[in-house]
Amino acid sequence: MRLLMRYFSILFQSQMQYKASFYLLTFGQFIVPFSVFAGLYFLFQRFGQIRGWSFYEVALCFAVIHMSFAISESFARGFDAFSSLVRNGNFDRILVRPRSTVLQVLGSNFEFSRVGRLIQSLLVLIWVVFHLSITWNILRVATLILMVASGVFIFAGIFILAATMCFWTVEAIEVANIFTDGGREMAQYPLNIYQKWVARFFTFVIPFASANYLPMQYLLGKESGSQGYLYMLSSLSGILFIVPCLGIWNLGVRHYRSTGS
Amino acid sequence: MKTYVSVLRLRLLNGMQYKVAAIAGVATQFFWGFMLIMVYVAFYSHSTAPPPMTLSQVVNYIWLQQALLALVALWIRDPELLELITTGNIAYELCRPCDLYGFWYAKLLAQRLSNAMLRSFPILIIGLLLPQPYRFSLPPDITHLCLFLIAMTLGVLILVAVSMFIYISVFYTMSPMGSLLLFAVIGEFFSGLVIPIPLMPAWVQTLADFLPFRWTVDFPFRVYSGEIGMEKAWLGLGIQVLWLGFLIVLGRRWFQHSVTKTVVQGG
């Protein structure tokens, strides 16, 4: 953990070397989801609601997913750019060091400019919380935090899976974007607006539902009693998603054959 | 003119080399298309007031957008040209015996065409075979199809003219990120790539009317599904030509101006 912090502080210093570029990137990260959010807002102005969900409820979904995506992307950036590590043969260097590979790849890069996206979703979240009539208690706050955490771990898991593919293909594959960017766009709406099979896929295979749809039932008071607690705990399954991903990663590491010389 | 055509042809052949990337692109675009349509289906299923566009028009809009993304997306950039400017290798370009604006314009156009050619047809053809409500339908009649083709061509020409401004601005800022972001975000929003323009509130639509962006995407797409009638379509084509002329003249002027002012350092 201390090592990871060292990695990050070095990266932070190096990224702050180009201040103007850093602020521009951060601003860009702020403005891009903002335009998506504006689109969402306009659609709700036109249609009023979507399958019984109001604008603020969907906006809550949006804020949670974008927040977890921002956090996850900034941490897992090293995995995102992993193909270059394999292609250059630099992964060999990581293998000979006496620390875990996951830790080192995690520390190899950190995108601080993603803070822009984080701020945007945080603003949306605050705005939404004021408009939704939720009686807040410790359990509900915990649910919200768990939702974000669950999302972070799901995205991280997908990033790791995509990086693992590089052990076989060397080159990064664009298709993985379906699950990162696509997953983000998809999960900004409650999952039950989609076709059944899509919702099922994103509940049981990649548990995005555990980051928004299921715990939101509890958060918004749509389900109460013991059923409600069950929904709340479902967000834990998103965190568990990382376990098989790490397993596959380790399998990939064992399979790794160096390309460098 | 011959020079530009051969530049176009060379780049086209070059871009066609990457077939696997194109297949992956098609798969991704397909997923996006499906996802967006599902969202709109959900919105439309409970709408109280009749929206200004029918669902099938929105579906057409989305499939066209997914299929032609390589043609119409502003964030696609040519790293080669940007590098030329920032590294100073532009000095070599200046030695070329032809008009540099036209040369770059042809290069950018070819890049977009070659990217789109491989990707668009599979998406549109499979789209035609899908079950309702996902089906991509044909335009109401042949005239609308012809009008769409003309409008789309003009739209792409306008788009490339707009994107030239990004490269010109790099002469001053030296980093493409800022202008690229600004252009991409504002441009894509007002060209209808985030949500279709007719679904936006009235004041945003008026704003979009004063910008060139909607003529690149929104207008041709709506001509396709027949939402824009004949008379309006002809009028729109006229406006497109005006914008195109204006943007090219302005861009060319500014380009020449910044090129003559460039100081290339180092040897």
Residue A261 has pLDDT above 60, yes or no: no
Q: Quick: pLDDT tens for B154-164.
A: 999 999 998 88
Identity of the residue in B24, B177, B194 whose CB atom sits nearest the CB atom of A39: B194
| CA separation for the pair B85, B81 (Å, rounded) | 7
pTM exceeds 0.90: no
- With CA atoms as reference, the chain B residue closest to A48 would be B47
Residue A73 has pLDDT above 70, yes or no: yes
Show contacts of A217-223: CB within 8 Å, 24+ apart. A218/A140, A218/A143, A219/A60, A219/A134, A219/A140, A219/A143, A219/A144, A219/A147, A220/A57, A220/A132, A220/A134, A221/A134
Q: Which residues of B touch A173 (CB under 8 A)?
A: 24
Q: Do A185 and B32 touch (CB under 8 A)?
A: yes
Residue A46, CB-side half-sphere exposure with 13 Å CA sphere = 22
Cβ of B32 under 8 Å from any chain A Cβ? yes
Q: Quick: pLDDT tens for A144-195.
A: 888 888 888 988 888 888 888 777 766 666 677 778 888 888 888 888 888 8
- Nearest residue to A109 via CA among A250, A4, A245: A4
| CA separation for the pair B190, B175 (Å, rounded) | 24
State the smallest CA–CA distance between residue B75 and chain A in angstroms. 12
Q: B216 and B191 in contact (C-beta within 8 Å)?
A: yes
ipTM of the complex: 0.80
Bond preceding residue B133 cis, omega within 30 of 0: yes
Q: Which two tokens mark A152?
A: 């972070």
Torsion sign (Cα): B130, B136, B141, B146: negative
> b/e map of B208-236 (b: 16 or more CB within 10 Å)?
beeebbbbbbbbbbbbbbbbbeeeebeeb
- Nearest residue to A211 via CA among A156, A131, A129: A156
| CA separation for the pair A165, B183 (Å, rounded) | 34
Q: Quick: pLDDT tens for A21-62.
A: 777 778 877 888 888 888 888 888 888 888 878 888 888 888
Question: What does R_g of chain A's alpha carbons equal in angstroms?
Answer: 19
Q: Do B189 and A42 touch (CB under 8 A)?
A: no
Please give the pLDDT value at position B267: 47
- With CA atoms as reference, the chain B residue closest to A181 would be B32
Instruction: Using DSSP, state whether A53 is helix, strand or coil.
Output: strand
Question: Residue A205: which residues within 8 A CB-CB, separation 6 or more?
Answer: none
